[in-house]
Amino acid sequence: MTGREKHLAAQKKGIFAVLRDVVKRLRRGQGGMAAVEFALILPMMLALYFGCVVLAQGLEVSRKTQALSRTLADLTSQTLPATGQSNPILADTDFVNFFGAWQAVLYPFVNAGSPNMTITEVIFDNVSSTNSKCCVAKVLWSVSSGPSPTLRQCGTLTQSSNGVNNPTSMPAGLYPPAVASGNATDYYIIVADVSYTYVPSFGFTPFAWNSAPNGGAGYRISQTTYMAPRISSTAQIKWTPGGTISASNYVTCTPNIP
């Protein structure tokens, strides 16, 4: 190889070395670009992930709250008459046991404290024995448990649209149909109201999931279940205070039954 050829080969080698250096720098530049892109989309990815987790937990809590409401109504409506009795009779200890089921039903979402629970018996009272119009809904008794439960108070409950549940009304679809004139039959129903405050596992500060106006310290989930007494929809489940339940956790009423 002549001197000139050696010189050209060295130049080519130098060019290739420069090209390799450029390629390396481009690779490092691409890596930096990917890191920047990842940093830009990371908050969105985290929001989607944690949002899905919070949503899934919220749906599960809602399902369990409904299950607790149904459990309370079911246990109460299953009450049967004792030997020699014509009507089912509840004792204070029965309510203590009913309300005690919440930890098993809501598990593992029990760290936020106990839910607010209310069990109420409502009578659909016929207007009179000579009037076929049915009925006027009235509270017979209402018993509650929890940090701040809402009792259903004595007096006539207003008729609300189906799907509307609140302590002062009854959905229209629960009212019995009109009866023949002269039929003074009254009907009864057990109502279980449950509300539970769901607190997300993490607040995710950018979206303020645990802050006002997004529920403050959590999100209140409310469910209501209606069930007729198992023995008969015309059989009253009786209860009188026995001294075990605090006076602030119940009301007893005397509707004007003709």
Q: What is the mean pLDDT of residues 159-185?
A: 81
Residue with tokens 């229209």: 172
Q: Average pLDDT over the chain, rounded to whole?
A: 80
CA distance 98 to 74: 10
Coil vs helix vs strand at 178: coil
**pTM score of the predicted model:** 0.76
Kindly provide the b/e burial profile for residues 44-74, where b requires at least 16 CB atoms within 10 angstroms of the residue's own CB.
eeeeeebeeebeeeeeebbebbbbbbbbbbe
pLDDT, tens digit (0-9, with 9 covering 90-100), for 174-224? 888 765 555 677 889 999 999 998 877 766 666 666 666 555 567 788 999
With a pLDDT cut of 70, the percent of the chain lying above it is 71
pLDDT, tens digit (0-9, with 9 covering 90-100), for 69-89? 999 999 999 988 877 778 889
pLDDT band at 237 (very low <50, low <70, confident <90, very high): very high
pLDDT, tens digit (0-9, with 9 covering 90-100), for 17-42? 655 665 566 556 555 666 667 677 77
For residue 1, count other CB atoms closer than 10 A to its CB. Answer: 8
For residue 194, count other CB atoms closer than 10 A to its CB. Answer: 29
Of residues 4 and 226, more confidence is placed in: 226
